Every structure is written in structure tokens, then in C-alpha cells.
Amino acid sequence: MRVELCQKLHEAAPSLFGTETFFTVEELGPGIKSYRWFPIQCDDGWFDLLFGLCTKLNAYIKTLPEEIANEIVITQIKEKYGTLRFYMSHYDPVVDKMIEEAENESASVCEVCGKKGKLRGKTWVYTACELHTKPYDLTDETDADNSVS
């Protein structure tokens, strides 16, 4: 994911992104900083999905006791088997449900552009719209194999 989008996620829910996951590497000039970002390992198309999830999680975590809330951070965000995987340092039924909904929704959102997509591919599964589908995955047979109910 592009750094600009990572920064927007960080700004929406700064407490979720601890110093271990998002930090300034160096000041390049007045007001210009270079960031190092490593836990988001997916493409830009899932930004809106992640922004919504981070916003909801941030609001929920603010309702928890401070000693618990202060310990909660995102540990990794990535794509695996064509869908979003979102890992945190704390789970409870509310957090689990929010994450599960976003992960399920990712199976119908193109990871590249954010438009309506579906799971594609036989050996390397990914979620894409028709525009971002690899040419060899545009057959009806492949689409039928990976249809999402």
C-alpha cells in the first residue's frame, strides 16, 4: 500500500498503530518526513475497507478500560489466499466480528482498484475486478471454481 494511504490510516486511528508498526525514519526537509511502514502488505484497492475497519476499531477501543486500550495495536495487515488478513494484539467478540466482516468483504473488492471484484486464480488466488484479472484467469471455468457464496 502506498505510504500516503498508510499515513491516512494512521491519522484515522493513531493509537492502533504503535511505534513498532509506523514510525518516522527521517526528516527530509521542513515538514517533509520519510516513513517506514511494514505491516500493510496489500494493494491500494482495500484502503476504504481498511479505513472503515480502523475507524470502527478505534471507536470501540476508546470504550474499553484505559489499561486494556493502551495495549491494543495492529500487528499485521496482509493479503492471504486472495482475501484480507488483519492481526491485532487483542481480540474479543466485538473485535473478532469487525475483523471477520472486513475480511469477508475483501473477497468481493478488487485489491488493486477497490471496485467490485471476486476471487480469481487457480494456484495463486487473488481478488480482482475484470480489468485487473490476469488474462489467463478470465475463463468461465476459473470463475466458477472460485465463486464466493
- The answer, as to whether pTM is greater than 0.85, is no
Q: What is the pLDDT of residues 66-77, one digit of tens each?
A: 999 988 988 889
Number of H helices, E strands in the chain: 5, 7
Q: What is the pLDDT of residues 97-145, one digit of tens each?
A: 999 999 999 999 999 999 999 999 988 999 999 999 998 887 654 444 4
Tell me the average pLDDT of the chain. 85
What DSSP string describes 43-76? -GGGHHHHHHHHHHHHHHHTTS-HHHHTT--EEE
- Give dist(CA 83, CA 111) in Å, integer: 9
Give the confidence band of 15 by pLDDT, cuts at 50, 70, 90: confident
Angstrom distances, CA of residue 105 to CA of 16, 19, 74, 83 = 21, 29, 19, 8
Q: Is the separation of the CB atoms in 42 and 3 below 8 Å? A: no
